[in-house]
Structure 1
Amino acid sequence: MPNSYLNKILLEESQKFIEANKSLSAERIILKYHGKTDLPIKEISEQIEAQKKAVKKLPELSAYNLVYKKIPLEQCSSEYSAQYKSRVISGKRIIDLTGGLGIDSIYFARKFKEVTYCEMNEELAEIAEHNFSRIGIKNIKITKGDSIELLKNYEDNYFDWVFADPARRNNEKRSVDIKYYSPNIPENLDLIFSKAENILLKLAPAFDINEALNLFKNMYEFSVLSYNNECKEVLVFLSKKNNEKIKSAVILDEEKYISGNINSDYKCEESEIKINEYLYEPNAAIRKAGLTDKIAFELNLKKLNRKSELLFSANLITDFIGRKFVVKHVELFNEKKIRKFLTSKKITKANISRSNFPLKPEEIKERLKLKDGGDFYLFFTKDINEKSIFILTEKIP
């Protein structure tokens, strides 16, 4: 593809320009140079902006001076999640049905003897092939076209694993309904399982465990990955032979793994929270994976009510996986009284969270005339009697 994005970026003049202007924003470059040079400024500005994002998202790989495109970089796995996936699965052969920039394929190549990369977009496949070469990877086979059709060409049980990160964009708008994903995994499960015993799917963070159970009868693990207390992706593990039913939370930045049986039911004590007790908000991955009750049961923590994701105790759990707070004030939710209380304490700024509460944080801030930030953390939730309450706390480092 002589006039492709890749070739425009690899021009010697483009490379010199990128090096000389890498500190500038894409907007500044376009404003300053558009129409004033023969260089492909649009592509160059996109590459410079993507390189900056790659330093954070792909710290190890960004050192190789790779080529990126904006949207594929946004959609690809982070280095941390790609590393995790390559640690938990292994075998001789794997096929990546949704190659994209090839980040997952790069890390699979460190564990598998043979990686087959599939991508419909020829320009993206060209970029990935260039990047594989830059890194020095030689065990990735590039295939271009419809991955489901390509898969049909392989003999049965050729692969140990099939990996897919189905496209979650339709005209660049987010969609969490699996029927709008491409490729359509549920529709092609029989074909995929004829080529491999195991399947690993990367899905959007909004994807629900109950939906996964309904869609994938062969699912043996539903795993939520978080980084910096933010859910980054959901992994669904499928197998023809593994009959386990596990839900797990992976906290990538703390290298922690918490798991439990999907069907387990933990009985947790519910009670009223008091001043000077300790409030806990489990890590986002724990909450998303439905493991809050397991954590509460194992650590002997109480719940504010049956539906609450907030836990508390009289004694501090210093190594709790999540955020920890000390309770300074508790009262029933009454707008007028809370405003009066906050005024008396000269609290004009606060960090607001809600759990099982009807108002959104922005609405709460507006009603209580509060700004973002400060040392106080305000929780709005319900008590054991399902009455709305307000909890004033300070965060414990």
Structure 2
Amino acid sequence: MRRVDTSLLEALRADDDLQRRAEKALREDGGRAPLTLRKAGVDPAMAAAALTLADLRVHARGKFGERAERLYFTRAGLEQATRWVVARRRAARFARSAGEVTDLCCGLGTEALAFAEAGLRVEAVDMSEETAAYARANAEAAGVSVEVRVGDALQAPLLEAAFADPARRSGAGRNFNPAAYSPPLDRLLEHLAGARFAAVKLGPGVGHEWIPEGAEAEWVSVDRDVVEACLWLGEAAEVRRRASVCKAGEWHELTGEGEEKAVVGEVAAYLYEPDGAVIRAGLVAELAERLEAHTANETIAYLYGDELKESPFARAWKVEEVWPLHPKKLRSLLAERGIGRLTIKQRGTGIDPAELRKQLKLKGPNEATLVATRVGEAHVAIYCHATSRREASGTP
């Protein structure tokens, strides 16, 4: 195996002062930060490495919070790393059923940290010697015990529980086909069958045809952003489909078979947009039952109900009027109401919201939401208002 030079990483780990100086230079001097460090006598290669780390730690805060300040990242590793709130929740589920776990394709080791902090004994494996060095550095920085070794995920022996996060990027960019993951999903699933309790993280766009018989397929969203899918295998599978939604730091779960169809009806007093995790998990019908709502077209995920019901699984709008989806007529109707700020949403019509906005020539002091969709086969524009200030601003 080719020897990988990790001397820059080791030098950075040994020089806390340089890390702090790089963070300060990046914060105060911006684009002139490299010059600041070089003027202070820092070796150019070390300066570049320290500034890259400082920049990555800033970007990592969204996933890891304050703990990002002491971890070590690569750009590709951070891109694939699981958000800490998701990793911690998954680790807790493992810890309820197992005492040890093999972490395959461990990357920077952040998932392994969550397993270790949950009390599991962790053996982490990655094909890249450089990546494994980062995983060791992060385990030491976090003060936990993780055994990290370099090896092929498909050949690594498994403990009673196993987790895998196969690489979804290549030199050509992001891979949406699980057969092109590294390692390929089908071969990885065969290997994971050797563990009693197992899970594999996937991209959120994975097709349902990749879900093995008897597995649980979970889609996860954090503050309305669908961040991943996860297959739970063996004894880990509890239900067929699960949508797990983290809203303002609190987790909510919706489960079901994922095969039901919502009742079809007319537009009602309130319009609901299900969370993306619910839609991808195929649990719109289960949500409709909770909300006492229905859809207006069985292929479109908008729901309608006569009464407003708060739910972490959907956003709601008060329906004011339903208009034909004719841009010229819409422009006149919106002008009459003084709408200068308009949120445009669409499902099932094929329109480009940005292009429609240009045609509407909005002007006025008021704001509203326009939902372009289908009722039956008719293309309509639903004029509505948010049910809360938070929805109106579009914030999580």
TM-score of the aligned structures, taking structure 1 as reference length: 0.87
Any idea what SS the aligned residue of 1:23 has?
Answer: helix
1:255 aligns with 2:247: no
Match of 2:271 among 271, 279, 290: 279
Equivalences, count: 377
1:10 aligns with 2:13: yes
Give deviations 1:89-121, integer Å, cap 9, x for gaps.
Answer: 230221111111111111111345421111122
Q: How does 1:185-196 map to 2 (within 5 A)?
A: 185-194=185-194, 196=195
Match of 2:209 among 184, 208, 211: 211
Partner amino acid, structure 2, of 1:211: E
- 1:30 and 1:389, CA in 2 relative to 1: closer, same or farther beyond 3 A? farther
Following TM superposition, by how much is the alpha carbon of 1:320 offset from its aligned partner in structure 2, in angstroms? 5.6
Match of 2:132 among 107, 125, 128: 125
TM-score of the aligned structures, taking structure 2 as reference length: 0.87
| Distance (Å, rounded) in 2 between the aligned partners of 1:31 and 1:301 | 61
- 1:358 and 1:31, CA in 2 relative to 1: closer, same or farther beyond 3 A? farther
Match of 1:375 among 340, 359, 367: 367
Partner amino acid, structure 1, of 2:258: I
Q: How does 1:356-375 map to 2 (within 5 A)?
A: 356-370=348-362, 375=367
Query: Which residue in 2 is equivalent to 1:109?
Result: 116
Q: How does 1:105-254 map to 2 (within 5 A)?
A: 105-138=112-145, 140-149=146-155, 151=156, 154=157, 159-171=159-171, 173-194=173-194, 196-208=195-207, 210-213=208-211, 216-219=212-215, 221-239=216-234, 246-253=240-247, 254=250
Query: Which residue in 1 is equivalent to 2:394?
Result: none
Q: How does 1:293-372 map to 2 (within 5 A)?
A: 293-319=285-311, 321-370=313-362
Q: Which runs of 5+ in 1 are unaligned?
A: none
Tell me if structure 1 keeps the 8 A contact 2:262–2:298.
Answer: no
Following TM superposition, by how much is the alpha carbon of 1:259 offset from its aligned partner in structure 2, in angstroms? 0.5
Following TM superposition, by how much is the alpha carbon of 1:217 offset from its aligned partner in structure 2, in angstroms? 2.8
Tell me if structure 1 keeps the 8 A contact 2:126–2:153.
Answer: yes
Tell me if structure 1 keeps the 8 A contact 2:258–2:281.
Answer: no
Tell me if structure 1 keeps the 8 A contact 2:110–2:138.
Answer: no
Any idea what SS the aligned residue of 2:117 has?
Answer: coil
Any idea what SS the aligned residue of 2:344 has?
Answer: strand
Following TM superposition, by how much is the alpha carbon of 1:222 offset from its aligned partner in structure 2, in angstroms? 0.8
- 1:298 and 1:387, CA in 2 relative to 1: closer, same or farther beyond 3 A? same
- 1:203 and 1:3, CA in 2 relative to 1: closer, same or farther beyond 3 A? closer
- 1:16 and 1:389, CA in 2 relative to 1: closer, same or farther beyond 3 A? closer
Match of 2:43 among 34, 38, 54: 38
CA RMSD, Structure 1 to Structure 2 (Å): 2.5
Following TM superposition, by how much is the alpha carbon of 1:3 offset from its aligned partner in structure 2, in angstroms? 5.4
| Distance (Å, rounded) in 1 between the aligned partners of 2:252 and 2:238 | 21
Query: Which residue in 2 is equivalent to 1:71?
Result: 76
